[in-house]
Each structure stands twice: as C-alpha cells, then as structure tokens.
Amino acid sequence: MSAAKGVGDQSKTGPVKDAKPLKSAMAAAQHQKEWFKNAQERVRAGEPFCLANADTPHEIFLAMDDIPIVMMQWWSAIISAKQLSGYYFDRMGDKGYQKNVCRYCALPLACAIEQDPEHEPWGGLPKPTLLLAQLSCDVHTKVFELLARAYNCHFFPFEYPAPAPSYPRWWERLEDDWEEVIGSHVLDLRVEETKALIRYLEVSTGRQFSHKTLLEIMELENEQEEYFKKIRNLIAETRPCPVSLRDQLAATMNLQWHRGTQWAVDHTRMFYEEVKEKADKGEAVCKDEKIRLMWIGRGLWHNTAFYQYFEEKYGAVFTNSMYLSIAADGYIRHHHGDPLRALASRHIYMGYCLRDPEWQLNEAKRYGVNGAVMIVASNCIDSVGNMFIKMVLEQGGVPVLPIYADVVDAREWKDEEIKAQVSQFIEERCMP
C-alpha cells in the first residue's frame, strides 16, 4: 500500500505539487516488494504460506520460523493501486458474482478465481496453504470459504464473540489493563483458538512454535508502536502539518506488516526521526495551511493523490487517518508474563476499536481538525457504523462530509463530482 511511484492515479486529480516522498516511506515500500519476491521464491520451494485477514495474529507465524503471511487488505490495496480492480471486478461479474459484493474483501477472491499470475501485481500471490480470518462478517466469512475452494487449501476460522459494553476511553487503558477492557471470557476463548492454530501449524508444517521468540516479538512490537505513538503525537501538535497523509499511509502500513522484527523497529525509528527533523526545521506539507481535515475510513488506495488536491486551492491539509492513530493506541501490550493472552487481546476487537465514535472524536480533537471527510462504501456492512461516527463527531463540533464511493474500485469514483463536494464542504463548513 505504498505511496511511492506507481501508486494512485495522478491523472484524475491533476498535477499535485508533491514534495519528495519520505525516505522511510520509500524504504518501507521497497522492502515490502523485496520481501514479497522472497516469499514467492520460498513458496515455490515448498514452504507453507498463509493469506489472512488484518485482524489476526501474524505474530504466531513469525514465531514459527517466520512462515510467510500476507494480509488480504494489503493485497486488495496493491491490486487497486495498480489500477487493476476494474478488470477483476468485471471478470467477477462475467462469472455471475453479485455486483454489490464488498469490494475490499472480494478483490483477492477475484484474483483467486482468475489465477493469472502474469496479470496480477508483482507476479501474483503465491498459492496459500492456509487461510486465516475472524468470523466478524457474513460476507467476509463467505469470501474466505470461496477462497479456500479456489486455492484448494484449509481455512482456519476464529470465532468473533459479541463484545461486552465498551470500557470508557479504552485507548487510555488498553496497554496494561487489556484483561479488564476486553473481558476474561473472551480472552479465554481466543487463547484456546490460538493454541489450536499453533497445534495445526506444527502438525501441518513440521515447524515448532517458540514461546521465547514470541516474547521477543512482543517486545519489539511495543518498541515499534511507541515510535508510532511519538510520530502521531508529533504530527498532531505541529502546525503546519509536516507530513502528508499519503506518506503517512505508505510508511505506517508497510512497516506494520513487518511488526515484531528488528527491521521494522529500525525503520519506524527512521520514520520518527525524519518527521521530527521536518517539524524542527518548520518544513510543511502546505506552508499556508489554513484548514486541517481528517480522513475517516480505509485509505483511498486507487487515488492517494486525492488527499493533496485541496492544499493549493484552500490551504486544506488531510492530517490524519485511522492507520497511524490505531498503531499508536491499539497495538502496544505489556504482556505481564503471558504473551499469548496479551496477543489475543490485541486483535480480537481491532475492528470494533476502529469504529468507536468516541475514539474518532478524540483523534479529531487531538489533531485540531476543522472537518472530517468520511468514505462510505454502500457494499460494506461496516459502513453502517460510519453514521454513528458522523453523529458523534458533529455533536462534538466537527463537521463531517460522507463520500459515497469505494476505496479499491475506481469505477465508482467520480473525481470531478467528489472534488466539488469536498470544495463546497470546505467553503461552507470548515473555513475558520
């Protein structure tokens, strides 16, 4: 999900006075490409490979002699960024699939149905030996069932228990008091499921799970996420904004896919030092910053240049999204001697945390935004919760503009119309 060369359709938004991308963002993107190529070679040589949902514990695979694992949301973003989503969705339509199926989850399925590596980005996704996902959405569950059929591989599902009433301001307690915030009965279930996953992997791959390695991974993750917290706080308090949202997305997401490794810690430190240097020197995305905007929802992967379109016209800068914020608030866990249980607490309600209106309002106030732009996908059940976020933000004094479009399907993006909507929103509701 890189914002480096080739990502986003620049022709749609017109010329963008884009500063040179962050070195850390470019390094992270290059590393991801090299890692993916290496994973392809390893799978061709007979190693196991997992395709998983983003809210699953990839740390388990890292602790088993680094079994390659790819998150399906990343793969969707790459396909979209390469401007291939229209082709694949058209092919799905030709085969009789519903046209309103959730695009974000279904795009990897479209690739699996075609299984044409020469057409896929980066030489194609390796054939998985395992699929892993939480049963958090009926459509999502069906997509993984169909993926298992297409790849003729095993699907390992995690249950998704209904959350108890949320702990107020969970982001202030989750690092240490995760047992209380999440709930013991829920963690009991997820720990047993994770142990079952470990047993399955040990039997099916012949590899051994290392408790010692998991402890090391958790410590490295905490160190990495602390840097993300410093970056988030620094960007939030610096006026004008020193780093574009496009660079934030590129650096954060590519680094997160390698969390728990020394490489990720070193490069997240590099990200922080680069942001701090820009802030100290007074460098800015837009020197004449007048308006700060928040992006709510998934990244606009087929057109990341969109975020910068409004800088020259209005001095309006998109300063933040959920990705860096959840890295700062949702990942750090002090394991208290039980890393497996702490790990279970990290992923089980990640989606719930991302959709918490009070957390979104807290981030809006932290960054001091004048307004928020919300992406609403009509084909995604998760988008229903966006209206609650809109209500809470507006009650908190933050105007919100819903954009009805899709973050991976460029066919639904009406660029001139949407730019006009955002321009009107800025002029009528966000101007100081």
CB neighbour class for 306 (10 Å; exposed up to 12, middle 13-18, buried from 19): buried
In a domain, 1, yes or no: no
Give the span between the Cα atoms of 7 and 92, in whole angstroms. 23
As for how many domains the chain has, the answer is 1
pLDDT tens by residue, 275-327: 999 999 999 999 999 999 999 998 998 998 899 999 989 999 999 999 999 99
Q: Does the pLDDT value for residue 358 go beyond 50?
A: yes
- Neighbour tally for 183: CB within 10 Å: 19
pLDDT tens by residue, 406-423: 888 888 899 999 999 999
CB 395 within 8 A of CB 364: no
Quick one: pLDDT at residue 82?
93
pTM: 0.93
In a domain, 226, yes or no: yes
Q: Does the pLDDT value for residue 2 go beyond 70?
A: no
In a domain, 276, yes or no: yes
pLDDT band at 4 (very low <50, low <70, confident <90, very high): very low
SS3 294: strand
In a domain, 213, yes or no: yes
Instruction: Single out the residue of 223, 205, 227 nearest to residue 60, CA to CA.
Output: 205
Quick one: pLDDT at residue 62?
98
Q: Which helix (H) or strand (E) holds 130?
A: strand 130-134
Quick one: pLDDT at residue 162?
79
pLDDT tens by residue, 332-356: 999 999 999 999 999 999 988 999 9
Residues 6+ apart with CB under 8 A from 338: none
Average pLDDT over residues 48-63: 96
Alpha helices (H) along 5-118? 10-13, 23-44, 59-62, 72-81, 85-94, 103-114
Quick one: pLDDT at residue 136?
86
Quick one: pLDDT at residue 3?
35
Residue percentage of the chain with pLDDT more than 90: 78
In a domain, 297, yes or no: yes
State the residue range of the domain holding 423. Answer: 10-430
Quick one: pLDDT at residue 8?
36
Residues 6+ apart with CB under 8 A from 191: 340, 341, 344
Quick one: pLDDT at residue 116?
83
Give the span between the Cα atoms of 231 and 248, in whole angstroms. 10
In a domain, 172, yes or no: yes
Average pLDDT over residues 375-403: 88
In a domain, 2, yes or no: no
Give the span between the Cα atoms of 258 and 343, in whole angstroms. 16
Lowest pLDDT segment from 52-66, 67-81, 157-171, 233-247: 157-171
Average pLDDT over residues 198-206: 98
pLDDT band at 377 (very low <50, low <70, confident <90, very high): confident
Give the span between the Cα atoms of 351 and 247, in whole angstroms. 23
Quick one: pLDDT at residue 133?
96
CA angle 379, 83, 80 (to 5 degrees): 45
Quick one: pLDDT at residue 19?
58
**Which amino acid is residue 372, in one-letter code?**
A
Quick one: pLDDT at residue 77?
92
Strands 154-158 and 291-296: unpaired
Q: Does the pLDDT value for residue 18 go beyond 60?
A: no
In a domain, 211, yes or no: yes
Quick one: pLDDT at residue 411?
87
Give the span between the Cα atoms of 85 and 92, in whole angstroms. 11
Sheet with 316-320, edge to edge strand ranges? 316-320, 291-296, 371-376, 400-404
Q: Does the pLDDT value for residue 378 go beyond 80?
A: no
Quick one: pLDDT at residue 165?
62
